[in-house]
Amino acid sequence: MTYENIRLEHDGAVATLTIDRPKALNALNNKTLQEFEAAVKSLGADTRVLIVTGGGEKAFVAGADIAEMSSIAEHPEAQKFAELGHRAFALLESLAIPTIAAVNGFALGGGCELALACDFIYASEKAQLGLPEVGLGVIPGFGGTQRLTRIVGRARAKELIFTGGRIDAAKAKEIGLVLEVLPAAELLAHCRSVAAKMLKNSPLAISTAKRVIEQGADKDLGEANTLERQGFAELFGSEDQREGMKAFLEKRPAVFTGK
């Protein structure tokens, strides 16, 4: 498929999805969100890690396209736009593979929400993150109020959202929003090195671990541990489990198939 506002590139089992509207600071309009959703849906079983980043040197994604949003005059149209963003980011979040946000610049509003939908975030030293929607008379509409709260806690999320401010990458790391801060020139290389480490492991085990973590996050500890026991047991008898343990005993690298 040919895209206008994004790029989807494959390097072996690692896919990189770039929001590519640098003149608009990669702002998310309807077309970009639709292309993003289509690209995520197009990922095949041969893709084992997805990296999401922004085109150009200034922005990851500077937010939703305010010029387009300002033309929305009625509640049903706004609801439709929010549903598109939620659907696209929920699809990203539900992928069975690890997803990495490489935040290379401004990640504001919808851009911050996009990063929040990934499994983890690495940021360049020049990155800035925030949810400034209240300054526009609205609130985050693509999952930001909920995902941010689950990551940094209720009070910190309220502070960021109510003030509409932005924080630098170092502060984002301090509050647990960003895992690591890298020089801009090293950001993608770092993300790819993390991806390479994941590729050495069982994709079936990784997808099961991701499912158990996500499903257990909002349950009490007893229920969550039940999910873990079930996931652990389900993997026995799989080709990956047999290969992983055989390789360990034979003191050789395992060759996993994801089956």
- For domain 6-199, give the CATH number: 3.90.226.10
Q: What average pLDDT score do residues 34-57 get?
A: 96
Contact between 108 and 128 (Cβ < 8 Å)? yes
Catalytic residues: 113, 133
- Identify the sign of the CA torsion 218, 201, 186, 23: negative
* pLDDT in the model for residue 174: 97
Residue-wise pLDDT tens digits, 134-186: 999 999 999 999 999 999 999 999 999 999 999 999 999 999 999 999 999 99
C-beta contacts of 202-206 below 8 A and 24+ residues apart: 202/240, 202/241, 202/244, 202/254, 202/256, 202/258, 203/48, 203/97, 203/240, 203/256, 203/258, 204/235, 204/238, 204/240, 204/241, 204/256, 204/258, 204/259, 205/235, 205/240, 205/241, 205/244, 206/97, 206/98
* Domain residue extents for the chain: 6-199, 203-249
Domain 203-249 = CATH 1.10.12: yes
- CB-based burial, 95-129: b 16+ in 10 Å, e otherwise: bebbbbbbbbbbbbbbbbbbbbbbbbbbbbebbbb
Mean pLDDT, residues 57-79: 87
User: What is the edge-to-edge ordering of all strands in the sheet holding 6-11?
Assistant: 6-11, 14-19, 49-54, 99-103, 120-124, 180-182
Tell me: pLDDT of 73 over 80.
Answer: no
Which pTM does this prediction carry?
Answer: 0.94
Cα separation, 206 vs 143, whole angstroms = 25
pLDDT in tens, 212-245: 999 999 899 999 999 999 999 999 999 999 999 9
The confidence score (pLDDT) of residue 75 equals: 84
d(CA 11, CA 13): 6
Digit-coded pLDDT (tens) for 93-147: 999 999 999 999 999 999 999 999 999 999 999 999 999 999 999 999 999 999 9
